[in-house]
Chains A and B, each alone.
Chain A
């Protein structure tokens, strides 16, 4: 059972906005550890999408944004495009476990 909880799936039509939640606890997200997000296209390795809660690596479109509040974090995607169809994972650090933890992943379907 993943330490961070994500919805298994979300969907949206092209051009719409979707959000993906990532819920943790007081020993990870709530303990002020950074949250990072990864995009995994089918058959490929994960790619860093958002780091440090709300920062985009060079080359990531500003349609992608991250936020964090309390024990939860969210990834927002605006102006949805067909190429955004992928699995998305959140990641943080857990002080009780003393290691990196991932969410279970969310599959985004572009309708």
Chain B
């Protein structure tokens, strides 16, 4: 079945970087975009950016420009999101979500990765 499986929880110190992976299975990885969305505890969903796994093209929300990098490895059908210069406000659950090229909808979601930023 179609699924996205994300890497495990991370604990990082302020100023560090974190890299979360998202492994796709059950479909052609390069045929759908990958979005990254985060959710702080008790808060709503916040879109961070997208990547086209076929071309490697990316688009980031202004808030994260300069701090986020989205990449992929097509050989292992895996997308990555790296966030640098971490601060306590970055503590959240990070989700990857698949999206068709012709739509902004996100039809398959990963299980989420908890990133905790604490000194």
Residues of A near any B CB (own CB < 8 A): 2, 33-34, 36, 38, 45-48, 51-52, 57, 89, 91-93, 97-105
Instruction: Looking at the assembled complex, report how far the CB atom of B114 sits from the nearest CB atom of chain A, in whole angstroms.
Output: 11
80-119 of chain B: CB within 8 A of chain A: 95, 97, 103-112
The A contact surface, by secondary structure, is strand
Instruction: Looking at the assembled complex, report how far the CB atom of A56 sits from the nearest CB atom of chain B, in whole angstroms.
Output: 12
Query: How many angstroms from the CA of A45 to the CA of B110 in the assembled complex?
Result: 7
The contact size tier of chain B is 20 to 34
Best-buried of B47, B59, B95, B110 by chain A (most CB within 10 Å)? B47
* Chain B residues whose CB sits within 8 angstroms of the CB of A98 once the complex forms: 59
Q: Are B104 and A100 in contact (CB under 8 A)?
A: yes
Instruction: Looking at the assembled complex, report how far the CB atom of B60 sits from the nearest CB atom of chain A, in whole angstroms.
Output: 8
Instruction: Looking at the assembled complex, report how far the CB atom of A94 sits from the nearest CB atom of chain B, in whole angstroms.
Output: 10
Please tell me if B35 contacts chain A, counting CB pairs below 8 Å. yes
Q: Are B104 and A92 in contact (CB under 8 A)?
A: yes
Other than A52-B105, A91-B104, A99-B49, give 18 A-B pairs with Cβ distance below 8 A: A34-B104, A38-B45, A45-B111, A45-B112, A46-B97, A47-B109, A48-B107, A51-B107, A89-B45, A91-B106, A97-B62, A98-B59, A99-B61, A100-B47, A100-B104, A101-B47, A102-B37, A102-B44
Q: Are A46 and B109 in contact (CB under 8 A)?
A: yes
Please tell me if B10 contacts chain A, counting CB pairs below 8 Å. no
> Please, which residue of chain A has its CB at the minimum distance from the CB of B93?
A45
* Chain B residues whose CB sits within 8 angstroms of the CB of A102 once the complex forms: 37, 44-47
